[in-house]
Amino acid sequence: MTSIPFPASGTYVQSVSESSWKIREKAGITVTDEAIKRLLFSESFTTSFPRLRESHGMALPLKFPSVLAELNLLCILSLLNFASGYRVPLHIANGRGAFDNIRALVFSMYITADTEGDYLSAHGMQHADAGKIADFMGVADKIHQEKDHASIPGLRVGELGGPVWEVVQLVTNVLKETGDVLVKGGYPNLGAFVLEAFKEGEKVRTQGSDELISPECDVILERLVRAIPAFQDMVVVDGQPVYCFKKALLTIYAVARKYQDVTPSPFPLPRISHLPIFSDNVIPSLLVHLGVIDLTTSDTKYGVRDLFPGATEASSLRALLSSAPPPPLTESSVKKNKTVPREGPILTTEEAFILRAAAIDACNRIVEVARNLDDEEIKRKHLRP
């Protein structure tokens, strides 16, 4: 197995963007300015962007005894922000998607901390129990699957297994693994570790430096990634290291956004405007269907060309880029109209990272194109018949 090197110190943020660009180019995946502008000036984008850009979903209706308690919960919510590939079985199990299940889990971990063990502490994470995690997620009755008895014909028995059980195991293992790191390091919880990283980052911050050059983020990101295995989403594809660091970047962003308007700030906050997107398997799927990422030009040896059949059809693209439907008026109407999503393509690790990297580079390009639009072009596009 090819070892995966960490980026050089001081280049962690840069490595995400650079490695993503390199593997997208190497795989022959196309992203053009024309496709980006088509999205930016589409009715779907212009009518939904102001509303959706503020809807990050990281807030929970909880009262905290201290800023550090809130910080810790926010960090754990970011740490566990994965499993989007299991959204279909989770929807079938309890009607909630991956992130909604994680929010329900963290919510339950918090409100039961005094009565059922503090799963938000380093020691509590270290001793996480899969059965209790399943209970917190509301899937305890969905983690068994029936199989024929090995020696008694006609008898079926229930055994732990299936995709929902896989999610529960993944969450449990991440909690245990992270708890081990924190306990060995002498940290009472994940929030304390992240706070220390933020303070370390502040030591290298250059006063008056460009907002787009944030050395403090590099220090923080390196601390998080090197210490916590769950933050190490990186792989080597065809000899090329690819770094995504989705959950670590999300942790930095979520904390900075949460406290940016608090005066005085409870702890030093990094500048985050230059951070790349936190790419999972959902973002590239969206960008493929929205016509920004073109897989049809990719080299067949990378296995991604035919993953989304029909995604680039003109009729499908027109429908997606047309005026977005109004948001649901009530929570009950959301539940009433909720349907189980279709299962996406099954990917190898390498294929998943290629797509995630393509999305990171595409989003970097989207920002660059948007910033370079001239006033005349914007006016012309908005006034077209």
Q: What are the residue boundaries of the structural domains of the chain, listed by start?
A: 12-383
Confidence of residue 382 (pLDDT cuts 50, 70, 90): low
Query: pLDDT tens across 120-163, in order?
Result: 999 999 999 999 999 999 999 888 766 666 677 766 556 778 99
Secondary structure tally for the chain: helices H, strands E: 17, 4
Q: Which pLDDT belongs to residue 335?
A: 54
381 pLDDT band, cuts 50/70/90, is low
pLDDT of res. 206: 74
Average pLDDT of the chain, as a whole number: 88
Taking residues 285-310, report their average pLDDT. 93
Query: What is the spatial distance between Cα 214 and Cα 34, in angstroms, rounded to a whole number?
Result: 30
CB 334 within 8 A of CB 328: yes
CB proximity list for 87: less than 8 A, separation 6 or greater: 97, 98, 341
What tokens does 216 get? 């403090």
Beta carbons within 8 Å of 260's beta carbon, 6+ residues apart: 269
Rounded to whole angstroms, the Cα distance separating 5 from 239 reads: 11
Q: pLDDT tens across 332-354, in order?
A: 555 555 677 677 788 999 999 99
